[in-house]
């Protein structure tokens, strides 16, 4: 092979080697970026799930017989330039492995290309300790094992606006040994003041946790 031909072939091989190195380096950097974003997303998801759980815990373990707390939802987990869209499920369960105790499970999952999820839970004691009621724009529903309250902070569904607040309220009937209620609301209102379904002066709460519990519309 002529010296010129050998030199040209060597130049071509060098260029291909450089291109391969560049593409390999780009792939490594991209994978590192995805891994970092996934780790950051998992941290943010865990913080959000724990934040809701903490609010529920504050309500349950408050020494007050009647207690109300709110949690503000963000539209996207603060990861990357545009954030990560996500959804939350609040599930009521009764576990045979925990002596039949009831509990709430808060699970969060991402909808974006960055995949992450998180989950926490909080015990409610014996199944009859609280009557759990999920409140959504569709109305109030007494929770049974497997009932799910779906929160959509990143995107509305079926024409609904985004979930903006979680309202947690506990109250007890005003009689010795009266039933206790735990309401959890998915509020889509832009202003917290408009989340009026769960207030101590709202009709359902006043009836169920008042002096005439027989009139409570929730079984």
pLDDT (0 to 100) of residue 32: 45
Over residues 41-83, the pLDDT tens digits come to 788 888 888 999 999 999 999 998 889 999 999 988 887 667 7
| DSSP code for 61 | T
Please answer whether residues 82 and 111 qualify as being in contact, where contact means their C-beta atoms are separated by less than 8 angstroms. Answer: no
For the chain, strand residue ranges (E) read 67-72, 86-94, 102-110, 117-125, 131-136, 139-142, 148-151, 165-172, 180-187
User: pLDDT means per 10 residues in the chain (219 residues)?
Assistant: 57 63 51 54 84 92 90 85 85 74 90 80 84 90 93 77 92 84 92 84 85 75
Place of tokens 């060098």: 14
Smallest Cα–Cα separation from 144: which of 187, 184, 91? 91
The closest of 29, 33, 44 to 116, measured between CA atoms, is 44
pLDDT of residue 177: 76
Q: What is the pLDDT of residues 91-103, one digit of tens each?
A: 999 876 556 688 9
Q: List C-alpha distances in Å: 67 to 18, 22, 81, 127, 135.
A: 66, 60, 38, 20, 16
């Amino acid at each position: 092979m002529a010296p010129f031909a050998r030199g040209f072939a060597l130049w071509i091989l060098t260029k291909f080697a450089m291109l391969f190195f560049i593409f390999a380096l780009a792939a490594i950097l991209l994978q590192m970026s995805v891994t970092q974003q996934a780790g950051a997303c998992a941290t943010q998801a865990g913080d959000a799930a724990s934040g809701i759980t903490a609010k529920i815990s504050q309500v349950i373990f408050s020494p007050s017989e009647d207690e109300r707390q709110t949690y503000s939802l963000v539209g996207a987990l603060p990861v990357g330039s545009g954030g990560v869209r996500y959804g939350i499920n609040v599930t009521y369960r009764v576990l045979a492995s925990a002596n039949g105790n009831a509990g709430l499970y808060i699970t969060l999952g991402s909808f974006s290309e960055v995949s992450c999820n998180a989950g926490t839970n909080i015990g409610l004691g014996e199944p009859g300790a609280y009557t759990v009621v999920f409140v959504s724009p569709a109305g109030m529903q007494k929770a049974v094992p497997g009932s799910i309250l779906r929160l959509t902070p990143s995107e509305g569904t079926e024409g609904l606006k985004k979930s903006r607040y979680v309202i947690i309220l506990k109250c007890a009937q005003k009689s010795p040994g009266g039933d206790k209620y735990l309401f959890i609301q998915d509020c889509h209102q832009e202003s917290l003041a408009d989340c009026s379904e769960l207030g101590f002066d709202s009709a359902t709460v006043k009836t169920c946790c008042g002096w005439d519990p027989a009139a409570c519309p929730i079984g």
